[in-house]
Amino acid sequence: WGDNINWLTLDQAFKKAREENVPVMVIVHKMSCGACIYQRRWFSRSKTIQALSKNLAMVNLEYNEVPKSPEFTPDGFYVPRILFFSPYGRLLPDVNVKYNQQYKFNYPQEHDLASNMKSVIEEFRQR
């Protein structure tokens, strides 16, 4: 998902988020999933995503590593999905892909994800 991104465990990410007042971005995927492979290709090559990731606590979870709590499956168990959380662990359910109500947290295009990353970063930068 990108060697130029500072990947953290979930615990490390929420600790960093609280200490630095930054949001958390969690990617949930499966290594064998075709849609995940497609998303990983553009994600890992994107200079924009890499730059924006410096302002977030970034987590990359394989499907079987996801905590069994509802905030990690707000609209289902599909992959890939990308979720944003406040620095104190509250899911930000309105940060999603508005045009796909069936898979609101699946980002098939870089510009949709980059736009949401920017808006979440700005929201917490102002606090």
- pLDDT for 126: 74
Whole-prediction pTM: 0.95
* pLDDT greater than 90 at residue 125: no
- pLDDT for 80: 97
Contacts of 11 (CB under 8 A, 6+ apart): none
Nearest-CA neighbor of 68 among 117, 96, 18, 28? Answer: 28
Confidence of residue 46 (pLDDT cuts 50, 70, 90): very high
Contacts 24+ apart (CB under 8 A), 111-114: 113/43, 113/49, 113/82, 114/46, 114/48, 114/49, 114/52
Q: Tell me: the pLDDT tens digits for 61-109?
A: 999 999 999 999 999 999 999 999 999 999 999 999 989 889 999 999 9
Q: Is 26 helix (H, G, I), strand (E, B) or coil?
A: strand
* pLDDT greater than 70 at residue 123: yes
The pLDDT mean for the chain works out to: 95
* pLDDT greater than 90 at residue 115: yes
- pLDDT for 2: 87
- pLDDT for 127: 67
Nearest-CA neighbor of 120 among 81, 93, 80? Answer: 93
